[in-house]
């Protein structure tokens, strides 16, 4: 499954482009721009599975660094600071990884 099976290619391109500058990534705005906030829980889980490259059922810090590339190959890598902020926002139980729920 490709990201464009769930989200609009145009929305992805706009969102990734909006955060192309280093240290500009805002996960709340990004997920809103790509349309995830309007998607069903099942569609959100589909996106999660696409981003979970090692199929562990979790997205770990190393996978988060490349989250923009998970949406489009033209995406940049997140900085360590941006990656840690995204992990802190999604890691509800403090185990160093983000689960689908």
pLDDT averaged per 10 residues, the chain (length 101): 96 97 96 96 96 96 95 96 95 92 79
Q: Is residue 40 marked as binding? A: no
51 sits in which H/E element: helix 41-51
5 is in an annotated binding site: no
Signed CA dihedral, 61, 79, 83, 21: sign only: negative
Q: What fold does the segment set 7-99 form as a domain? A: Recoverin; domain 1 (1.10.238)
Q: How far apart are CA 38 and CA 76, in angstroms?
A: 25
95 is in an annotated binding site: yes
Helix (H) or strand (E) holding 28: helix 27-33
11 marked ligand binding residue: no
Q: Does the annotation place 52 within a ligand binding site? A: yes
Q: What pLDDT is stored for residue 67 in this prediction?
A: 95
Spell out the domain ranges in the chain. Answer: 7-99
Q: pLDDT value at position 100?
A: 86
């Amino acid at each position: 499954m490709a990201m464009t099976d769930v989200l609009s290619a145009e929305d992805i391109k706009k969102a990734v482009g909006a955060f192309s500058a280093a240290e500009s990534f805002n996960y709340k705005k990004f997920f809103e721009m790509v349309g995830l906030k309007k998607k069903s829980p099942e569609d959100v889980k589909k996106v999660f599975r696409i981003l979970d490259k090692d199929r562990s059922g979790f997205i770990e810090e190393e996978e988060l660094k490349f989250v923009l590339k998970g949406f489009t190959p033209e995406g940049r890598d997140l900085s360590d600071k941006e990656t840690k902020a995204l992990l802190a926002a999604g890691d509800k139980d403090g185990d160093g990884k983000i689960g689908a729920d």
